[in-house]
Amino acid sequence: MPDTLDPEIASRLKRDDHGLVAAIVQQHDTGEVLMLGWMDDEALRRTLTTGRVTFWSRSRGEYWRKGDTSGHQQYVKSVAIDCDGDALLVRVDQVGAACHTGERTCFLAGGDLPAVVGSRPEVAP
């Protein structure tokens, strides 16, 4: 296993001031958006080469592999990069809850904000 991220991939990343890109985690079959995490080059390398999702924890300043403490592993199905290289879409098979609160997703844990719903204009038939 290579111990640095493929330079061709590394050259496509547009990292923030802390060297990180956002990683959206989505359940591969249901389409549920489970959580948002952060990856540096090494976290992405581990994610691409091991079949398990690894993040960089901004609060703890360390790598963490989802499931190592909770048992709620994320198994990688695919990893896509966006058009400008500052976001990743990681499709996974999530065991149990993705959120540390025990909810299936971090967005169910936080909940909906009150929002005005918009609709595309009606088009005359």
The residues that touch its own copies, with contacts defined as CB under 8 A, are 6, 9, 12, 16-17, 22, 24, 26, 30-33, 35-36, 47-52, 73, 75-87, 89, 93, 95, 99-101, 103, 106-120
Cβ–Cβ contacts within 10 Å for residue 12, how many?
Answer: 13
With beta carbons less than 8 A apart as the criterion, state whether 47 and 54 touch: yes
- The reply to whether 84 sits in an annotated binding site is yes
The Cα 55–Cα 40 span in angstroms is: 8
For the bound state, the minimum distance from the C-beta of residue 41 to its own copies, rounded and expressed in Å, comes to 12
| Cα–Cα distance, 104 to 121 (Å, whole number) | 35
User: What is residue 101's DSSP assignment?
Assistant: T
Q: How far is CA 32 from CA 29, 43, 106, in A?
A: 8, 22, 11
Is there a binding annotation on residue 93?
Answer: no
The reply, when asked if residue 83 is annotated as ligand binding, is: yes
Please name which of 69, 13, 73 lies closest in space to residue 42, comparing C-alpha atoms: 13
* Min CB(32)–its own copies separation in Å: 7
Annotated binding residue 41? no
Residue with smaller CB distance to its own copies, 68 or 80: 80
Q: Which is nearer to its own copies, 38 or 125 (CB)?
A: 38
Residue 1 or 125 having the CB closest to its own copies: 1
User: Is 112 known to sit in a ligand binding site?
Assistant: no
The binding site for Mg(2+) consists of 82, 84, 86
